[in-house]
């Protein structure tokens, strides 16, 4: 059984400056909860009991504080306000949180930093930037893993593609390659949800560094092409590491809540 996950939170959030000079991007709110809450909640309802946060020196204390109980603070709340913390406190009571500092650059470097804290052969990896409103993606990955016993990555077909990093899939749904935009007519991107095996750590010295000596997890996956199956995600996806992605995620959330009419009225008033 897979019961642990690694969430990569070591980035500095520079695309969200100047806000992230003070507050780390994973603590930015989607309506009434920080982004990190939604990631952890998805793992919690998928049966995960242990989370390793890969952090940096700027965000570790804030994340630790959020995922810890504050009895002095809560004792000063009235009962109605206390209920707002019930879901979070339930998660705190039933999960174990471990924190490690990122000591290598890039997404692979971040994951490698957690290597010694991972207990089991197979584990889940989340990117801290990716917000998926549906909580089903992790369950889908787990179901496919238990059926195949293969590593899993989550992909999504998109109309607006980045210039590089497009996922090419073979006829059996295995990862085949990462290609440039319009090359090989692929239209799928890699999302920050995957199930990996510890063998991913064995190829560190075979990887080529990119940009500022960064090691990328996507290129590490290419070393295991016939061992990595793809799972398609058909829901909405938001990159909250970008300003417009963060704003769109909030709009989407509110438009699917009981505040929808209020937001609609406001948008109409400014048009």
Residue 183 has a pLDDT of 58
**What is Dmax (Cα atoms) for the chain?**
60
| pLDDT (tens digit per residue) in 32-44 | 999 999 999 999 9
Residue 225 has a pLDDT of 82
Residue 182 has a pLDDT of 59
Residue 162 has a pLDDT of 56
Q: What are phi and psi of 156, to 5 degrees?
A: -140, 135
Which residue is it, tokens 């990996």?
A: 196
Residue 163 has a pLDDT of 52
Q: What average pLDDT does the segment 198-222 reach?
A: 89
Using the predicted structure, report yes or no on whether residue 56 has a pLDDT greater than 60.
Answer: yes
Q: Are 15 and 27 in contact (CB under 8 A)?
A: no
User: What integer best gives the mean pLDDT of the chain?
Assistant: 89
132: confidence class by pLDDT, cuts 50, 70, 90 = very high
Using the predicted structure, report yes or no on whether residue 128 has a pLDDT greater than 80.
Answer: yes
**What is the rounded CA–CA span in Å between residue 15 and residue 183?**
28
Q: Which two tokens stand for residue 231?
A: 């799972």
How far CA 151 is from CA of 142, 181, 210, 215, in Å, comes to: 10, 25, 24, 19
| pLDDT (tens digit per residue) in 138-155 | 999 999 999 999 999 999
78: confidence class by pLDDT, cuts 50, 70, 90 = confident
What is the share, in percent, of the chain residues with pLDDT greater than 90? 58
**What residues does each domain of the chain span?**
4-270
Q: Which two tokens stand for residue 245?
A: 């992605």
Q: Are 170 and 176 in contact (CB under 8 A)?
A: yes
Q: What are phi and psi of 151, to 5 degrees?
A: -60, 150
| pLDDT (tens digit per residue) in 251-266 | 999 999 999 999 999 9
| pLDDT (tens digit per residue) in 156-201 | 887 665 555 678 888 899 998 876 655 556 678 889 999 999 999 9
Q: What average pLDDT does the segment 87-94 reach?
A: 95
Residue 58 has a pLDDT of 85
Highest-confidence segment of 96-110, 176-190, 197-211: 96-110
Q: How is domain 4-270 classified at the CATH fold level?
A: Spore Coat Polysaccharide Biosynthesis Protein SpsA; Chain A (3.90.550)
Q: Are 194 and 152 in contact (CB under 8 A)?
A: yes
Using the predicted structure, report yes or no on whether residue 46 has a pLDDT greater than 90.
Answer: yes
């Amino acid at each position: 059984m897979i019961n642990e996950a690694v969430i990569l939170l070591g980035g500095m959030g520079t695309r969200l400056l100047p806000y992230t000079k003070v507050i780390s991007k994973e603590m930015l709110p989607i309506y009434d909860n920080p982004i990190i809450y939604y990631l952890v909640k998805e793992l919690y309802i998928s049966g995960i009991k242990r989370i390793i946060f890969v952090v940096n020196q700027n965000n570790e204390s804030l994340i630790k504080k959020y995922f810890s109980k504050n009895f002095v603070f809560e004792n000063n709340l009235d009962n109605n306000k206390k209920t707002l913390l019930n879901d979070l406190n339930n998660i705190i009571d039933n999960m174990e949180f471990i924190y490690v500092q990122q000591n290598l650059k890039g997404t692979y470097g971040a994951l490698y930093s957690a290597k010694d804290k991972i207990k089991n052969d197979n584990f889940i990896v989340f990117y801290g930037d990716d917000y998926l409103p549906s909580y089903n993606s992790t369950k889908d990955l787990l179901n496919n893993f238990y059926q195949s016993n293969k590593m899993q990555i989550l992909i999504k077909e998109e109309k607006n593609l980045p210039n590089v990093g497009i996922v090419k899939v073979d006829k059996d749904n295995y990862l085949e390659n990462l290609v440039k935009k319009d090359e090989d007519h692929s239209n799928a991107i890699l999302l920050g949800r995957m199930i990996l095996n510890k063998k991913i750590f064995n190829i560190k010295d075979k990887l080529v560094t990119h940009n500022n000596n960064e090691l990328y997890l996507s290129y590490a996956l290419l070393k295991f092409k016939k061992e990595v199956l793809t799972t398609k995600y058909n829901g909405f996806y938001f990159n909250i590491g970008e300003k417009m992605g963060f704003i769109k995620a909030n709009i989407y959330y509110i438009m699917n809540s009981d505040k929808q009419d209020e937001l609609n009225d406001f948008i109409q008033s400014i048009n």
